[in-house]
A and B are shown apart, each in its own frame.
Chain A
Amino acid sequence: MKARVHVMLKNGVLDPQGEAVRHALGAMGFDKVTGVRQGKVIDLDLADGATEADVAEMCEKLLANTVIERYEIELV
């Protein structure tokens, strides 16, 4: 089984990298972009028997810093 974890900065937390990407897109002429948020995707290969709850615990303890980030788990 595989799991894909999406980690994004929480709404309200400034994302300077996303802002820089937005500026760059604007400078390139992509004038229909009004906001960019940059996050990360973490793919996990899981042994049989692993559950979404296991992955959630991994997110809480290591993969995301819940002070500033939120996460979504996708089992694939």
Chain B
Amino acid sequence: MRAAVVVFPGSNCDRDLAVAFEQAGFDVTMVWHKDASLPAGLDIVGVPGGFSYGDYLRCGAIAAQSPICKAVVEHTERGGYAMGVCNGFQILTETGILPGALLRNAGLKYICKTVGLKVATSDSVFTQGYNAGDVIGIPIAHHDGNYYADDETLAMLRDQDRVAFTYAENPNGSRGDIAGILSENRRVLGMMPHPERAADAGHGGTDGAALFRALAGVLTPA
């Protein structure tokens, strides 16, 4: 199984995400933002957290126009799997791969703490290791994690069972308490909380490990 993790100037969760993939059994290749293509035979691409391009203009806006992101868009259009965490989620919305946008937290403060995350659906490769309704402890660390989508998009996400995770207690003003969503083909996950920071006993929690374990062996390269 092969995973790639994209590295932008300002990424800071790229190695954590790579380790989480490795612990689940993936061979991981790091790819640079200037690369124009992803490695062949890739099962999944991870877009990590951090502050790509210093969050200039809007979080994820410049990264979304980088050469590697064009390759990520093509990968997902071919039906490839991808997951974006935190800044990676912001980047996936800026590319249009996932709907909606992430606004400044309603309380205006950067929040870094472990929160209760409710698994909204177990019907995806990312969430099949949990039961719908489970509440897991996963850290958040963001200033712009306030998920926004218009009423029509929210209704579509709910109708298509594409909300992956919701906050047990909404920390940032996200509409519908949404913490993570899936693409229409359920092969792309974007989420603000950091499962890769709760994937090893040394992290103080391992509730995120099931997400990575569940990916192992079920993906098909695109």
Point out residues on A near B: beta carbons under 8 Å.
13-14, 16-17, 20, 61-63, 65, 67-68
A65 touching B106 by the CB < 8 A rule?
Answer: no
Known: A65-B101, A68-B101. A16 touches B65 (CB 8 A): no
B23 an interface residue at 8 Å Cβ cutoff?
no
A62 touching B148 by the CB < 8 A rule?
Answer: no
Closest to A66 in B: B101
B101 touching A62 by the CB < 8 A rule?
Answer: no
B221 an interface residue at 8 Å Cβ cutoff?
no
B40 an interface residue at 8 Å Cβ cutoff?
no
Q: Which of A13, A16, A65, A67 contacts B105 (CB 8 A)?
A: A16
Known: A62-B61, A65-B58, A65-B101. A14 touches B93 (CB 8 A): no
A68 touching B103 by the CB < 8 A rule?
Answer: yes
A68 to B103, CA, bound (A): 9
A63 touching B104 by the CB < 8 A rule?
Answer: no
B107 an interface residue at 8 Å Cβ cutoff?
yes
Residues 62-77 of B at the A interface (beta carbon under 8 Å)? 62, 65
A65 to B100, CA, bound (A): 10
A20 to B101, CA, bound (A): 21
Closest to A67 in B: B101
Known: A13-B148, A17-B104, A17-B108. A65 touches B173 (CB 8 A): no
